Copies of this chain bind each other. A is one copy, B any other.
Amino acid sequence: MSLSDLTSLPGVTATPDIPTRRYVFNHTMIRVRDLTASLDFYTRVLGFTPVYQHIFEEAAFTIVYLVLVGDRSVIPDDDEARKRWVLGQPGVLELTHNHGTETLEKTPYHNGNTEPRGFGHLCVSVPDVGAACARFESLGVTFQKRLSEGCMSHIAFIRDPDDYWIEILQPTPLPAG
């Protein structure tokens, strides 16, 4: 479907309002049971870098913003500059940790893929989905769907420590198998 067909779909405003031109789809927030376990997963398995943390003592929760950048030299060193920078970036992950949930045996959070459904998944795209999945296997990552499972052999889903689903795909077509 061509871009002009897409911008003619029912409901679509073909020419966005000028003030929206500087809007940025900045982040997605998920709640996590154990911040240490989630920081381990998102930094070790997926390569995210935490760039901002705020502890709300009175309301008893902590937020951490993470970015997935190949080259950390793009991240400002100055704390205030880095906060402004991250709030203007697309593709930021916000983890919210309500203090005390880490003592629960299992996550109190719902991944949205059983009733009641809603949110579905995050997706990390990788240059080589086969190599990425082999790496995840070697790291002992939990899979929701391996490449070989189901009818879509070009995508996989892994699970984070709270069982949120993370789709893994590569932008380029896979060689015919």
Against B, the Cβ 8 Å flags (1 = close, 0 = not) of A40-77 are 10011011111111000000000010011011000101
- A residues lining the B interface (CB < 8 Å): 1-3, 6-7, 9-13, 16-17, 19-31, 35-40, 43-44, 46-53, 64, 67-68, 70-71, 75, 77, 79, 82-94, 96, 108-112, 116-127, 131-132, 135, 162, 164, 167, 169-172
- For A170, the closest partner residue in chain B by CB is B87
| CB-defined contacts of A171 to chain B, threshold 8 Å | 83-88
- Known A40-B12, A49-B7; contact A122-B30, beta-carbon cutoff 8 A: no
| CB-defined contacts of A30 to chain B, threshold 8 Å | 118-120
